[in-house]
Structure 1
Amino acid sequence: HPPFFPLLQPPLVQAIFNRNVDEVKLFLHKKDEVNALDQERRTPLHAAAWLGDVHIMELLISAGANVNAKDHVWLTPLHRAAASRNERAVGLLLRKGADVTARDKFWQTPLHIAAANRATRCVEALLPHVSSLNMADRTGRAPLHHAAQSGFQEMVKLLLNRGANLSASDKKDRQSIHWAAYLGHLEVVKLLVSQGSDKSCKDKRGYTPLHAAAASGHVDVVKYLLRNGAEQTPSHIIRCICFIQGIHGMFPLHLAVLYGSSDCCRKLLSSGTHNFSLYSDQLQQGPNENGFAECLNLCLSTRTPLHYAAANGRYQCVVVLVGAGAEVNERDRSGCIPLHYSAASTAFCRCVEHLLDNGAAPSLCNTKGYSAVHYAAAHGNKQNLELVRLIFTLMLSTVIFFFLHFRTIKHLIHASYFVLDSVAFGDVLQHASRQGEQRVCQPTALGGKYKMSRQKSAALILKEMTFPLSFCCQVESGHWECVTVLIESGAYVDACDPVGRSVLYVASQKGHARCVELLLCQSASFLSRDFQGRTAVHLAASCGHADILSNLLSAADHSHPHDPITDRHGYTPAHWAAYHGHEDCLDVLLELKPCSIQEGNPFTPLHCALINGHSGSAELLLESSVCNSLVNIRDAKGRTPLHAAAVAEDVAGLQLVLRHGADINAVDHSGRSALMVAADNGQSGAVALLLHRAKADLSLLDVNKNTALHLACSKAHEMCAMLILKEIHNPILINATNSMLQMPLHIAARNGLATVVQALLNRGATVLAVDEEGHTPALACASNKAVADCLALILSTMKPSSSTPSSSSPSSPSLNLLKHCGITAACPPLPNGGLRHGYGKDRHGATIGLDGYLTE
């Protein structure tokens, strides 16, 4: 329950916590609100009940305190008194009319609270006032459940003696004995059993109290339940509670090993070594001296306790189960043996070693063709394995040593099990036994027979394997020890995967400096390229690994000092470092390979840095002696670095290039300046800077004769349009038309920019100009040309009222408007006055002509 914090309480509550009766009386005499609520809606009586100060409680109640007031979690003073185990406070509140059935937000009554808090005397005071001892809270638990959970034997005995239902179940069908067993309250379990509690009762998952005790590792409870759980039947079948199966067919033994309780595991095993049978929906047998082994190796899901122990790294449980005779090569429903699960993680290498030493076969594959090697390689991630298989379009047996672990590979090498590249050899080979004798190998692709020692076969396989080193380097922790083992075994350091990624490439990408150093010492090629033409140098720069980049560039200077390092798109490592904003990598490149800054794609590293908002990288480039002339350099589309900065709305980048002399009005091949690019992309910050500080030219036109205002309106960038309008002082620009004869008013109206339309009208934009389709700005509001023509047709039939002759004059704007719609003369007036009767009068009787209607 939420605690009280006296210093944060009103003065009356502070006086209560100080147990100062005189101060309490003084505050009550001053008419302080006796039912005042604190921040958690607790009254002073809640505080007094929690303290158990009966004298102060009587003063408060006499002053009008509400004995059934509820706080923010619906706790009453009676709940508080029961929680603090003060029977005198409980008695006083009951005498003053406190509701004994009041429930909090968890539907718990004061009796639940007292039972959970070992408040025996409070329970005794409450019992005469309650109608039922078995009322359930929100989870379905009765007071007896709470008493059993608390482990207080006297409370359990009291409730049972007063008639509590021993077999009452909560919403998960768990009885009190389940909770006592799970929490290890042995004496309570004994008491419940002595009172007739069912030791074999099951919850909704089929778990018995023995399951609960085994899962939580309470071996003393397990021992007691086993001693009292066997029952001789006339049909000479001994049924033991340790063979009751829960959900997924789990025995208590499964749960014991799943949660790593080796003591419970030993006890459960020792109970079943003689004279029992396994009974399930799928198997019914008579007495069997070896029934114990069947219990280990068969359940409804076909997954044995040894599978669970291996999967969770329970080494002691593995030792116990194997020593008791569990089958180490037993398959589950998916065909996996315990070694599959144990090999999937570095944490369980002791389990791997023990299973291998006791006959586990690393060559066995599951139903999908994966062996324990695959599981060790994949770190148990089936999705990644499937992804690699799909990308590389190789047989499953080729995907090996993915995320391989150093200690696990040593055990697997010791077991002499290797998987070859199917492209080279066509199938999986198994070489030698763990004792090192020679075996006959039959590669199906070659059809030949070879006889070789374990050492020779290991050297051959490691020579041809393309995957081990590459994927060793991918693992996040960097398995340089594994790399060392494989290199010393003769692995090919320049091996590439099917998309061209070399071992050095992957190590550089993942940032494994130790692996890179080892590979460079073996003269691994740093110029090996993937299918995009990228090298290890590109990846080191792109991922920000400056130390690796320095090592690679130093190696490059010794072997290929003049070769430009570009990918298939012409991008250099400098492009990639600038694109991702890795300033430390740019420092390395400027120091060791400064000429690379000006090499490759004309979309320079400066462009790359600015378009992603990396102003720090851009400044580094501009202040270098190599790049100080690049501020106005153009890429293949004629875009300058200022254009790139405008796209990103990087104010710092814009200021930087302008400070270095960028041409504010430079246009690209489409005729757009940086201001026009910013307006087209809705970068209002860049627009404001280029207008106010750089005074960009607003009269520039692109190849489609669009001004910056046209472009802002065309993408509905209202803020950019308003910023540009504020700086336009030439009325010609307001009504400027593009190649489609559209003014900014046409475009703003079409995109629903009401604020921009209003500003354009205020600045003198004409409403009668037509575009190349003959539409005025009013008709441009239509969603498409067909809708616009329909709107023009409707407007053409709306003859002005006779009471407004001025509207029918030849100079009437409405007639001019209809004339410019292009279809006015072709449409005769509707009979009977057409729409005049519908729109000729407003609600007050005043006539409204067409002009008035449009204005309205």
Structure 2
Amino acid sequence: MNPEVPQPPVIGKVSHHSIELSWMNEESKPRTGSPEQWSHFSVEQMDPKTHKYSTKYIGYGTHHVLEGLESSTSYSFRLKVTRPSGECSFSPAVSVFTTREPYCGKNLHQAVNREDEEELTTVLQSGTVNVDVHDKMGFTPLMVAAQKGFTSVADILVKHGADINKRDSTGKNSLMLACYAGHLDTVKYLRNCGSTWQSRDTDGCTPLHWAVDGGQLPVITYMIQDGCEVDVMDKVSLWTPLMRVSAISGNTAVASVLLQAGADVNVRDKAGKTPLMVAVLNNHVELVKLLLDSGADHHMKNEYGAGAADMAKAFGRQNIINLLDKISMEDSNRLTSTGQFCYGDKK
């Protein structure tokens, strides 16, 4: 006599990595006597390629959870009942799909980097991801969008609650990143959302410092027109944006914009250096010329009593030495011609 065909296992809770199965039939009702007289059960899983079954559970229970499964994947199972007599019967197979893996921060950042607005919206609407989640570099999605100039992506993020004032480990916010990269539309968007020119990173640098470092003329021009303070100092060296130009890029176009906006050409840093001295130290010859033409005082000394000429000689900046000598000669001739030469200074 053929054993009765058992019912297939019942599908319970399903997640992206697990499937719950249960079963109940005559053999699983309350039992008496020794286990040798009981039927036992096996849950078997079918290999989709070979269509062969492998055992995932064996025992007397009526419930089993399979874990470690792939998300969004179809699985097929059957129940095998083995009676004390050794007779076996198999249920029909039952198939079920695991669910899609929940969205995470990685999915959000991938959508931002690909500028995939549709996927970005889907991830955000899932409600499973923090809109300000940091990536491995410590950037939020809005920081990434700002750095890349993805203004529409930034708008989606802000409308889903992204914090425009979030900072990375160095204190930079989205506005600073957009300014440094020169994305004017994104800069304007962030300003309209309430970002401020007064924000500072951990060194006290402002968005203008970062725009100057990036050499972003259109952004710098807009910032100045929007009322950004041109002589704002950082908190470490007391460098203004003009001083940053002298120290880093030597960009005369950027320096000209700052000077035309009223930047102090003779401002001093923490050590008493002026932009002219710093430009000399970094051998920015064309910037030295511009600063001198803009009223830089080459007679000024730092806190150690050294001036621009002393620094040029100490570092062998011959082009600048010649330039300063020429300026000094012109000054001397001008004083002589105007009758302002002091007898006490005569050799």
TM-score, normalised on structure 1?
Answer: 0.27
Letter in structure 2 aligned against 1:743: G
Listed as ranges, the gaps of 5+ residues in structure 1 are: 1-430, 441-449, 453-458, 467-485, 491-518, 528-534, 766-810, 814-856
Q: Match for residue 555 of structure 1?
A: 126
Cα distance change, pair 757–588 in 1 and its aligned pair in 2 (3 A)? same
Instruction: Tell me the SS of whatever aligns to 2:72.
Output: helix
Letter in structure 2 aligned against 1:464: G
Listed as ranges, the gaps of 5+ residues in structure 2 are: 1-45, 59-64, 76-97, 330-344
Letter in structure 1 aligned against 2:230: I
Letter in structure 2 aligned against 1:664: V
Q: Match for residue 104 of structure 2?
A: 526
> Matches of residues 614-625 of structure 1 in structure 2 within 5 Å?
614-622=183-191, 624-625=192-193
Cα distance change, pair 436–560 in 1 and its aligned pair in 2 (3 A)? closer
Q: Match for residue 565 of structure 1?
A: 133
Query: Is residue 169 of structure 2 the alignment partner of residue 591 of structure 1?
Result: no
Letter in structure 1 aligned against 2:199: I
Q: Match for residue 685 of structure 1?
A: 253
Following TM superposition, by how much is the alpha carbon of 1:662 offset from its aligned partner in structure 2, in angstroms?
Answer: 0.5
Cα distance change, pair 619–433 in 1 and its aligned pair in 2 (3 A)? closer
Deviations 1:686-705 (A, max 9, x none): 111111x2121022111222
Q: 1:675 aligned to 233, 242, 267, which one? A: 242
The CA distance in 2 between the partners of 1:613 and 1:759, in whole Å, is 34
Q: Match for residue 642 of structure 1?
A: 208
Following TM superposition, by how much is the alpha carbon of 1:451 offset from its aligned partner in structure 2, in angstroms?
Answer: 9.2
The CA distance in 1 between the partners of 2:132 and 2:47, in whole Å, is 48
Following TM superposition, by how much is the alpha carbon of 1:585 offset from its aligned partner in structure 2, in angstroms?
Answer: 1.1
Q: 1:655 aligned to 211, 221, 240, which one? A: 221
Following TM superposition, by how much is the alpha carbon of 1:587 offset from its aligned partner in structure 2, in angstroms?
Answer: 2.2
Q: Match for residue 177 of structure 2?
A: 608
CA contact (8 A) 1:578 1:608 kept: yes
Letter in structure 1 aligned against 2:311: I
Q: 1:664 aligned to 230, 245, 253, which one? A: 230
Cα distance change, pair 435–538 in 1 and its aligned pair in 2 (3 A)? closer
The CA distance in 2 between the partners of 1:603 and 1:752, in whole Å, is 37
CA contact (8 A) 1:716 1:751 kept: no
Q: Match for residue 283 of structure 1?
A: none
CA contact (8 A) 2:72 2:101 kept: no
CA contact (8 A) 2:151 2:189 kept: yes
Following TM superposition, by how much is the alpha carbon of 1:436 offset from its aligned partner in structure 2, in angstroms?
Answer: 3.4
Q: Match for residue 728 of structure 1?
A: 295
The CA distance in 2 between the partners of 1:721 and 1:727, in whole Å, is 10
Instruction: Tell me the SS of whatever aligns to 1:763.
Output: helix
The CA distance in 1 between the partners of 2:138 and 2:50, in whole Å, is 55
Following TM superposition, by how much is the alpha carbon of 1:660 offset from its aligned partner in structure 2, in angstroms?
Answer: 1.1
The CA distance in 1 between the partners of 2:251 and 2:271, in whole Å, is 21
> Matches of residues 171-250 of structure 1 in structure 2 within 5 Å?
none
Letter in structure 2 aligned against 1:646: V
Following TM superposition, by how much is the alpha carbon of 1:614 offset from its aligned partner in structure 2, in angstroms?
Answer: 1.9
Query: Matched residues, percent identical?
Result: 20
> Matches of residues 822-837 of structure 1 in structure 2 within 5 Å?
none
Following TM superposition, by how much is the alpha carbon of 1:536 offset from its aligned partner in structure 2, in angstroms?
Answer: 2.9
Query: Is residue 142 of structure 2 the alignment partner of residue 574 of structure 1?
Result: yes
CA contact (8 A) 2:142 2:174 kept: yes
Cα distance change, pair 735–612 in 1 and its aligned pair in 2 (3 A)? same
Q: Match for residue 546 of structure 1?
A: 117
> Matches of residues 361-510 of structure 1 in structure 2 within 5 Å?
436-438=51-53, 464=68, 487-489=72-74
Cα distance change, pair 560–437 in 1 and its aligned pair in 2 (3 A)? closer
Q: Highest Rg: 1 or 2?
A: 1
Instruction: Tell me the SS of whatever aligns to 2:199.
Output: coil
Instruction: Tell me the SS of whatever aligns to 1:666.
Output: coil
Q: 2:261 aligned to 694, 697, 700, which one? A: 694
The CA distance in 2 between the partners of 1:656 and 1:548, in whole Å, is 33
The CA distance in 1 between the partners of 2:204 and 2:48, in whole Å, is 68
Instruction: Tell me the SS of whatever aligns to 1:487.
Output: coil
Following TM superposition, by how much is the alpha carbon of 1:438 offset from its aligned partner in structure 2, in angstroms?
Answer: 4.8
* Pairs aligned (count): 256
CA contact (8 A) 1:578 1:586 kept: yes
TM-score, normalised on structure 2?
Answer: 0.64
CA contact (8 A) 2:103 2:123 kept: no
Following TM superposition, by how much is the alpha carbon of 1:537 offset from its aligned partner in structure 2, in angstroms?
Answer: 2.1
Deviations 1:313-357 (A, max 9, x none): xxxxxxxxxxxxxxxxxxxxxxxxxxxxxxxxxxxxxxxxxxxxx
Instruction: Tell me the SS of whatever aligns to 2:278.
Output: helix
Structure number with the higher strand fraction is 2
Q: Match for residue 351 of structure 1?
A: none
Cα distance change, pair 584–751 in 1 and its aligned pair in 2 (3 A)? farther
The CA distance in 1 between the partners of 2:125 and 2:193, in whole Å, is 22
CA contact (8 A) 2:132 2:141 kept: no
> Matches of residues 63-462 of structure 1 in structure 2 within 5 Å?
436-438=51-53
Following TM superposition, by how much is the alpha carbon of 1:656 offset from its aligned partner in structure 2, in angstroms?
Answer: 1.1
The CA distance in 2 between the partners of 1:433 and 1:652, in whole Å, is 60
Instruction: Tell me the SS of whatever aligns to 1:636.
Output: coil
Q: Match for residue 319 of structure 2?
A: 755
Letter in structure 1 aligned against 2:172: F
Letter in structure 2 aligned against 1:674: P
Cα distance change, pair 737–626 in 1 and its aligned pair in 2 (3 A)? same
Letter in structure 2 aligned against 1:661: G
Deviations 1:731-767 (A, max 9, x none): xx312222443321233334444332222112228xx
Q: Match for residue 367 of structure 1?
A: none
Instruction: Tell me the SS of whatever aligns to 2:202.
Output: coil
The CA distance in 1 between the partners of 2:286 and 2:57, in whole Å, is 79
CA contact (8 A) 1:433 1:439 kept: no
Instruction: Tell me the SS of whatever aligns to 2:328.
Output: coil
Letter in structure 1 aligned against 2:158: L
The CA distance in 2 between the partners of 1:544 and 1:438, in whole Å, is 44
Following TM superposition, by how much is the alpha carbon of 1:604 offset from its aligned partner in structure 2, in angstroms?
Answer: 1.6
CA contact (8 A) 1:438 1:451 kept: no
Instruction: Tell me the SS of whatever aligns to 1:745.
Output: helix
Q: Match for residue 156 of structure 1?
A: none
CA contact (8 A) 2:165 2:173 kept: yes
Structure having greater relative contact order (Cα 8 Å, sep ≥ 6): 2
Q: Match for residue 21 of structure 2?
A: none
Q: Match for residue 92 of structure 1?
A: none
Query: Is residue 280 of structure 2 the alignment partner of residue 719 of structure 1?
Result: no
> Matches of residues 806-845 of structure 1 in structure 2 within 5 Å?
none
